[in-house]
Every structure is written in C-alpha cells, then in structure tokens.
Amino acid sequence: ADWEWVLGVDLWGVVHGVRLFVPMMLEAAAKDPAYRGHITNTASMAGLLTPPNMGIYNAAKAAVVSLTETMYQDLKLVSDQIGASLLCPYFVPTGITSSERNRPNAPKDSQLTKSQLIGQAMSNKAVSSGKVTAGEVAFKVFKAISDNQFYVFSHESPKALGNITSRMENIVAMKNPADPFLEAPAIGAKLREQLRAA
C-alpha cells in the first residue's frame, strides 16, 4: 500500500500531467509557429542522490528524473517550441513531511515500522531546518523557464551539487555507493544503532 500510494502521487501524478499537457502543447505548436510551451516536473534531490531509509520516495523521484530527461530529448526531436525543466529541491519547508494527512483510505490501525518512524523524524528535522523558501524556489523555476534551463536546484551550494558529482564519479569508476554519512559519522552511527536495535 505504501509503494502504491507514493508512486501514485510522486510518479503517476507526473506521468498523468505529461500525458495530458504535452499533446495539447504539441497540437498548439503545430497550429501556431509563435507558440511557446514549457513543462516543469518536480523530482527531488532524492532522485539524484538516493539517501538511505527513503527507498520508495527515492525510486519515485529517480523515475521522474529519468522520465523528464527523456521527455526533454524527445521534445527536441519533434519541436523547437516546447521546452522542459526538472526541479530537484533539497529540503524546503513546504509541509511535505505531513503529507500522510492527504493519504486516502489510510488504514486507521496501521502502525509505522521502526525505520519509517526514524525516517520520518529525520525528514522532519531536515525539512524544518530548510533555509530556502518555496517562494524562492518558484522564482528559480520561472527564471529557468525563461532561460530554457533544464536542471533547477533549490540549493546550488557546492556541497549539495558536489554530492551529485561524487555519485556520478562513483558510478563511472564502478565503485560502490559512498557512505552518505562520511562527513557526519555520528549521525550515521546513531541511525545504524537505532535501526539495528531489537
């Protein structure tokens, strides 16, 4: 049920949007050479970095990254009038950590697992400490659309983007994924201890 709900919202919501709006944009472009359209899909840094203890969310957001990169290439094959962007926010205080409130038909008696509770606490802390506002992210999205820029990041710090670089370097070098807690070993040790406790 968790997989179906998260994929239904985070992946299929995007798929349905693409399937509805892209054909309409292509039709408008075919009728009017002055028409310009643009579609922006929201993934997450989790779709690029695969942080631990977030498997369902990571899988959904990685699929959105792949879908949108492919859509960008496909659109370039058929039209110069429609652009695409991919928004990958880091921790932005938007209420995302309380999204369970929107879940239809949530089992009333279901108990969260230990890993779900720990993951929820980690997400709550990270998101609540976010320094970039949703309004600032929206401004970046509109600028990216105006500039026909594909990748849009809420946080453009060397550390945030450096994590993507490190992941890609590991992939190309055929290295195992790096320890995400390399720079914060105390957090990694605490998480391992909590998850391994009986």
| Domains of the chain from N-terminus onward | 2-196 (3.40.50.720)
Mean pLDDT by 10 residues, the chain (198 residues): 84 97 98 98 91 87 97 98 95 55 57 63 57 87 96 82 88 92 81 79
State the first-to-last Cα distance of the chain, in angstroms, to the nearest integer: 25
Write the CB contacts of 86 (distance below 8 Å, at least 6 apart in sequence): 40, 41, 43, 64, 65, 68, 69, 72, 150, 151, 152
Write the CB contacts of 26 (distance below 8 Å, at least 6 apart in sequence): 78, 79, 82
Predicted model pTM: 0.81
